[in-house]
A and B are shown apart, each in its own frame.
Chain A
Amino acid sequence: MTSAEWPLWEVFVRARRGLSHLHVGSLHAPDAAMAVRNARDVYTRRGEGVSIWVVPSDQITASSPDEKDAFFDPAGDKVYRHPTFYEVPAEAKHL
């Protein structure tokens, strides 16, 4: 019989309507249905959510493996993408 560990799932919870699902942690479960049930018991014992997503951890593709800055460097020197880059006279309202 199988002695292998149950697969790992990442759990995302929507705290209430109008908010995105947020990553809250992970758990082991044999299948998706059990993962959702276990996630309810582990992560929403006090009404912390109205909706749960579970995703097999090995299905997540991440950006740079070591979370180094290079991947995000292209955004680093583009300060003109921010509204605060632009100076406008104080009398120009609603800008």
Chain B
Amino acid sequence: MAGTDEREAAFYAIVDSDGRIEPRDDMPEAYRKTLIRQIAQHAHSEIIGMQPEGNWISRAPSLRRKAILLAKVQDEAGHGLYLYAAAETLGVSRDQLLELLHTRRQKYSSIFNYPTLTWADVGAIGWLVDGAAITNQVPLTRCSYGPYARAMVRICKEESFHQRQGFESLLTLTRGSAAQKAMAQDALDRWWYPSLAMFGPPDTGEQVSGGHTEQSMRWGIKRFSNDELRQRFVDMTVPQSEVLGLTIPDPDLRWNDERGHYDFTAPDYDELFRVIKGDGPCNAQRLAHRVAAHTEGAWVREAAAAYAAKQRAKTQTEAA
């Protein structure tokens, strides 16, 4: 068995040459733990994220919108599954991960603790929340951990439909009646800052140390800082809002020629931390719904396992 130093050197040799770490490779324990935490949090976000939009499936305004929304929510479930499977390659079980979510020991994205009050919120989530998610996720397709990177490739391909359907849905509203346009504007007003907060707290300049960013970059898990990604999202989204004819709720938003970027008002990070800690509008409701779905579905899991055991026993008897 190689010594710790030698094994760590082998790990960094792969990471530094932009290679991929695979499940059975040696890896520092802290790298494994960070990945489990991050991938699990990502997986939890996908399945909790089914709730705000699922809220509108039965009230979608047309069969077309309903079919689209069903497909999108089904995708979120699928994304959760890809990610749970990726996390499991690191030596943690699905049951453990769900237990950690259900007992609040692992988190999910704070954005899903906000309510979907109107139909326009479904469009706003697709356009802004999925838009922010894509900005975050595209660099993760080159993450140093193979199974995570591969899951992200699959997810990013599917997210693009999510964002476009949201934009199209909002566009339909903004080209509709005055009330519909007002509903779209109201959705943007409520989702803009929580979407900016999705990128996490500031992590450049004075805030460069202390958070996870520096270490995650060293490990090739993170490629860009929260602040770079947030800026990228704003630069991409402002022109889209002009196409929609909607106003981003930020009086200080303006193009900065010198920087070549939009200047914008930062989200309220105190609010972000409050929501992360559990004090958001829907934290209790989201978790209670998740736990209830899991508990009430137990008989299905048990029945399927019992049926499989019975079939196995039958096959063995016939073979004997």
Contacts and interface: CB of A to CB of B under 8 A. Distances in A.
A1 B88 CA distance: 24
Given A8-B88, A66-B24, A67-B24, A2 B78 contact: no
Contacts of A26: 85, 88
Interface string B62-93: 00000000010011001001100100100001
Which of A4, A8, A30, A41 gathers most chain B CB within 10 Å? A30
Nearest to B23: A67
B311 interface: yes
Q: Chain B contact residues (Cβ within 8 angstroms of A): what range? A: 20 to 34
A66 B22 CA distance: 9
Is the contact region of chain A dominated by helix, strand, or loop, or is it mixed?
Answer: loop
A93 interface: no
A2 B81 contact: no
A45 B304 contact: no
Interface string A28-46: 1011001000000110011
Given A25-B151, A26-B85, A31 B308 contact: yes
B301 interface: yes
B8 to A, nearest CB: 14
A27 B311 contact: no
B82 A62 contact: no
Contacts of A66: 24-26
Contact of B307 (A1, A25, A31, A45): A31
Interface string A10-54: 000000000000000111101100100000011001100000000
B305 interface: yes
Contacts of A41: 74, 78
26 contacts: A1-B306, A2-B305, A2-B309, A3-B302, A4-B305, A5-B95, A6-B305, A8-B88, A25-B82, A26-B88, A27-B81, A27-B85, A30-B301, A30-B304, A31-B304, A31-B307, A31-B308, A31-B312, A34-B308, A41-B74, A41-B78, A42-B78, A42-B82, A45-B74, A45-B75, A66-B24
Given A2-B306, A42-B81, A45-B71, 4 more contacts: A5-B93, A8-B88, A27-B81, A45-B74
What 8 A-B pairs have minimum CB-CB distances, sorted nearest first? A31-B308, A30-B308, A30-B304, A2-B305, A1-B302, A26-B85, A30-B305, A5-B95
